[in-house]
Structure 1
């Protein structure tokens, strides 16, 4: 199944339009837990953006390939803080 993700900074001192750190899609295996995917992606983002040590959140949700990824998570998204 295809999932989209959106990783954002959650500190209050950042303008809304500058909070997005990463977004994309990934196809998960049938037996892959979406929460495990989100945890791994959030950890990878911490390594890739190690200059930023503040709080961040990943939102993830089932996604259709033909749709663009929004700059804000849809209402049905799951969230994980890191």
Structure 2
């Protein structure tokens, strides 16, 4: 199953779409739990964006192939803070 994600800063009062650090889609491996996928993406984001040491959140949700990636997470998205 394919999941979309948005990783954004949570320490600032600006609009959510202005705080996005990373976004994309990924097909989960067979048997991979969505929360495990999200935690791994969040950890990878910390490495790739090590200049930013503040709090961040990943929002993730099932993504239908061929649909555009929204600029903000839908209300049905799951979240992990890290």
Report deviation, 1:71.
Answer: 1.1
Structure 1 segments (4+ residues) deviating >6 Å: none
* Unmatched segments (≥5 aa) in structure 1: none
Instruction: Using structure 2 for the length normalisation, give the TM-score.
Output: 0.93
Separation (CA, whole Å) in 1 of partners of 2:10 and 2:71 = 14
Equivalent pairs counted in the alignment come to 81
Give me the CA root mean square deviation.
1.0
Separation (CA, whole Å) in 2 of partners of 1:70 and 1:48 = 22
Report deviation, 1:30.
Answer: 3.0
2:67 aligned residue: 67
Report deviation, 1:65.
Answer: 1.5
Aligned counterparts, 1:1-82, within 5 A? 1-13=1-13, 15-16=14-15, 17-82=17-82
Separation (CA, whole Å) in 2 of partners of 1:46 and 1:29 = 22
* CA displacement, residues 7-62 of structure 1 (integer Å, 9 cap, x when unaligned): 0100125x324300000000012300000000000000000000000000000000
